[in-house]
Every structure is written in structure tokens, then in C-alpha cells.
């Protein structure tokens, strides 16, 4: 099966995760693709293929003769798509030899170079886009397809010398639970790479420190005609609290290493309301200061009313993997060399987000993130480059060889 065929097959599976679910995986439909991948791995001849009770799929590309002593490395991708937009009935559109201009997704929707200037990089590539009604699922089915295509190539070409390679596919990455039950010891790799990056050449071993904040407001609803001195409007309380957070620390005002507070949801009524935030920063000290600022804002509001009108639930999600990866510079050096062998210019940069690799790095498996070739994740403008995806496959294969030398 070609890389293109494999990717188009995988995006046909609806694997959206659900943050409100209390099960793991959060949706049963993710298990459908995970079972398919396990069967496909077996058909390709991989060994030690298993799907555990949590839905994790693992398998092995055995070492070629003479390379059994090489370090065991792993490649990992997640199968779920983001809750932000539907991943059901995805209808990919294929653009051969992209001319560098605006792309019509449907009769009402255009993806314009003026809005997405990075499109210029892909002139001459084969692009796969959405039809403007769903996301595409390149995050991270591009990575899944690349790993499986590389696995097929290595199984069919025993003359390519490599050590033992472990493959892992995870659910629920998009809702921050992707490795909640991942058995690092069972996976058995010394180092691993997530194939979950974006534009060609991305090599990331720095990510945000991340926390979630949930605010619950218990107000007091009084007839508005007689509310003076009595009403506590829960929605207004949330607005007042939000105004205490710096405007310059919102996602739309930040870039690079700058962190932020991001209001991702708000709902309720006068009587009761809630809001959800994510808090991000690459620097641990600045991350802690942001959490302290959120706590102080809640305390200020509660002091204003004289009782706990706002309850705060603050939870750390993951941390910057840099401190776990930097002691092992060979992981990055080999990734850069593999990219160059594949004709790719490495672009080392921080992730303005997180991956399964961030948490895995703190679980004892140093795990930087490599490009997968997708762009504009989580929405109707998502697309990927088949050319970049092919170079990601080649990067995986070169890494397999380099770790055996």
C-alpha cells in the first residue's frame, strides 16, 4: 500500500476524542482504527504486536542480523483527532503539483495565501486538503501513515540494517490523556520519536509547561428590577476575573517562547457559571508565576464579595521535555542527520503546544517530536503535503540505520 493510499484510508476512520468522557479511551471509535492498525502490523510481519486493555497498540520491527545489540528506538503517533471540529465523513481533496495560489475548498470557502503565507513553501507539492466541512486528520494520521509505511519498507528490505524498532499508537492525545496508561517498560525502547510535528523539517524538543484551570462561580439570581446590592451575576464575575489577566498574555498576542492564558470555554447563567482555561509557558518559573496570577485573581474576586464566590481547580498537565532530552544530545543529532539524508533542512524550534513525547520524556523515555507534514491542525483549513510526508518516511528509515551504526 502506498503512503497516499494508507493516509486516505486512515482519515476515513472517525477517531475524535472527547474531553467530557470519563472512560479510557474517551471514545470507542478510536479503538476501531487501533484494532485495524494491529491487524495491519501483523499482516506486514511485525512481531510482538499487541493491543492492551487501554487501547495502546505496540509492535516490533525485529533487528536485522548482526544489529541485535543496537539501542532499541521507538516511533509513536496518536490516532485521535481533536474535539474542536468533526472528523466524521472526511472528504479529502488532492491537488497535484500545487501552483502556489489560493485553494478553493468548496463553493463558500477559500484558503488564501494572504491568510496562510506558508502555503508558498508547498508550491509544486501534492497537497491533500479538506472539503471545508471537517478537519482532515493529518494530526496525527499523517504520522501514523508515515510510521506504518516506513515499517512496511523496512520489513520488505532486510538489506537495510537496523536494530530493534518499537512502534506505538496511542489514543486521546488531543485531550491530554494520551499516555495516562502507557507502559514505558513494556514498550522497551531506550529513546523514541513522536511523528506529530507540522511543517517539513520541524524538530522539537522544547514544549510548553501546561496546566488547566477550571473556574466555577456560584452567584445569586435576583429579579433584575430589584437586584441592587443583592444580585451576584455569575457571568459578570467571570468577565471581571478575565479582565484581571493580562491582555498581552493571550494566544493571539504571543509567539515563540511567550506563554499565555487561553480561555477555551465559558457557559452558564446568572445563578451559576463556569469557565475553562489552559495556561502555558516554556519557562518553568514563568509558568509557576502564571498559575500564581490565576490563583491571585480568584482570591481578589472572593475578597471583593467576602466569601468564595469562585472556586478554582488548577491542574498541571505536562512539562517542558527539554530538561529530559538535553542530557541525551545524540537523539537530536541523529534526527538532524536523518533529515539531511532525506533532503530536509532541520528547523529546531519550540513546540507551542504539547505532544505525548513531552510526558513520555518524564516517564523515562526521552522522546522529541519530528515533522509529519500537516498544517493548520484542528480545523477546516487543515492540509498536508504528500511530498513532506514521504520525506518523513525517509527520515524514519534513516534514523533506523543511524541508530544501528
Q: 223 labelled as ligand-binding?
A: no
Residue of 251, 235, 247, 138 lying closest to 195 (CA atoms): 138
Residue of 172, 99, 134 lying closest to 359 (CA atoms): 172
Under CATH, domain 3-207+320-402 is a member of which superfamily?
A: Zn peptidases (3.40.630.10)
- The owner of cell 498581552 is 248
- The owner of cell 544530545 is 329
Q: For residue 236, which phi and psi values (nearest 5 degrees)?
A: -70, -35
Q: 99 labelled as ligand-binding?
A: no
Confidence at residue 353, expressed as pLDDT on a 0 to 100 scale: 78
CB–CB of 386/205 below 8 Å? no
Confidence at residue 19, expressed as pLDDT on a 0 to 100 scale: 87
Residue of 4, 169, 162, 147 lying closest to 71 (CA atoms): 162
Q: 196 labelled as ligand-binding?
A: yes
Helix axes 386-402, 138-156, angle to 10 degrees: 50
Residues in the chain where the model's pLDDT stays below 50: none
Residues with Cβ within 8 Å of residue 45, at least 6 apart in sequence: 155
- The residues spanned by each domain of the chain are 3-207+320-402, 209-318
Confidence at residue 274, expressed as pLDDT on a 0 to 100 scale: 97
Cα–Cα distance between 320 and 163 in angstroms, integer?
A: 29
Confidence at residue 352, expressed as pLDDT on a 0 to 100 scale: 86
Enumerate the active-site residues.
Answer: 80, 173
Fold of 209-318: Alpha-Beta Plaits (3.30.70)
Dihedral (Cα; 34, 36, 41, 43), 10-degree rounding = 170
Cα–Cα distance between 189 and 300 in angstroms, integer?
A: 48
Q: 174 labelled as ligand-binding?
A: yes
CB–CB of 278/212 below 8 Å? yes
Confidence at residue 272, expressed as pLDDT on a 0 to 100 scale: 98
Residue of 253, 252, 273, 276 lying closest to 263 (CA atoms): 276
Amino acid at each position: 500500500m502506498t503512503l497516499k493510499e494508507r493516509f486516505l484510508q486512515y482519515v476515513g476512520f472517525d477517531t475524535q476524542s472527547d474531553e467530557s468522557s470519563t472512560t479510557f479511551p474517551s471514545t470507542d471509535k478510536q479503538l476501531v482504527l487501533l484494532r485495524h492498525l494491529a491487524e495491519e502490523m501483523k499482516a506486514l510481519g511485525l512481531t510482538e504486536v499487541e493491543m492492551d486493555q487501554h487501547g495502546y497498540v505496540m509492535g516490533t520491527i525485529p533487528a536485522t542480523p548482526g544489529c541485535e545489540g543496537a539501542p532499541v528506538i521507538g516511533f509513536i503517533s496518536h490516532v485521535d483527532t481533536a474535539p474542536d471540529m468533526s472528523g466524521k465523513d472526511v472528504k479529502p481533496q488532492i491537488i497535484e503539483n500545487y501552483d502556489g495560489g489560493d485553494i478553493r475548498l468548496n463553493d463558500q470557502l477559500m484558503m488564501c495565501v494572504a491568510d496562510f503565507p506558508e502555503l508558498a513553501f508547498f508550491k509544486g507539492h501534492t497537497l491533500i486538503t479538506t472539503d471545508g466541512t471537517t478537519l482532515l486528520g493529518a494530526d496525527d494520521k499523517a504520522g501514523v501513515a508515515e510510521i506504518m509505511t516506513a515499517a512496511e519498507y523496512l520489513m520488505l528490505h532486510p538489506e537495510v540494517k537496523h536494530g530493534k524498532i518499537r512502534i506505538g499508537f496511542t489514543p486521546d492525545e488531543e485531550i491530554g490523556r494520551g499516555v495516562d496508561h502507557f507502559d514505558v517498560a513494556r514498550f522497551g525502547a531506550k529513546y523514541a520519536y513522536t511523528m506529530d510535528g507540522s511543517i517539513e523539517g520541524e524538530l522539537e524538543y522544547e514544549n510548553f509547561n501546561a496546566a488547566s484551570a477550571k473556574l466555577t462561580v456560584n452567584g445569586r439570581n435576583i429579579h433584575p428590577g430589584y437586584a441592587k446590592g443583592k444580585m451576584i451575576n455569575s457571568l459578570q464575575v467571570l468577565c471581571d476575573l478575565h479582565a484581571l489577566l493580562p491582555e498581552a498574555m493571550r494566544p493571539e498576542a504571543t509567539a515563540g517562547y511567550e506563554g499565555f492564558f487561553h480561555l477555551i470555554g465559558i457557559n452558564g447563567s446568572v445563578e451559576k457559571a463556569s469557565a475553562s482555561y489552559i495556561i502555558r509557558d516554556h519557562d518553568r518559573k514563568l509558568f509557576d508565576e502564571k498559575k500564581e496570577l490565576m490563583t491571585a485573581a480568584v482570591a481578589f474576586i472572593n475578597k471583593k464579595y467576602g466569601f468564595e464566590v469562585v472556586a478554582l481547580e488548577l491542574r498541571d498537565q505536562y512539562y517542558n521535555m527539554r530538561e529530559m532530552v538535553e542530557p541525551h544530545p545524540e537523539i537530536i543529532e541523529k534526527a538532524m542527520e536523518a533529515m539531511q539524508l532525506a533532503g530536509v533542512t532541520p528547523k529546531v524550534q519550540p513546540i507551542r503546544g504539547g505532544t505525548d513525547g513531552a510526558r513520555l520524556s518524564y516517564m523515562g523515555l526521552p522522546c522529541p517530536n519530528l515533522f509529519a507534514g500537516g498544517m493548520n491542525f484542528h480545523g477546516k483549513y487543515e492540509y498536508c503535503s504528500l511530498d513532506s510526508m514521504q520525506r518523513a518516511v525517509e527520515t524514519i528509515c534513516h534514523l533506523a540505520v543511524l541508530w544501528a551504526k
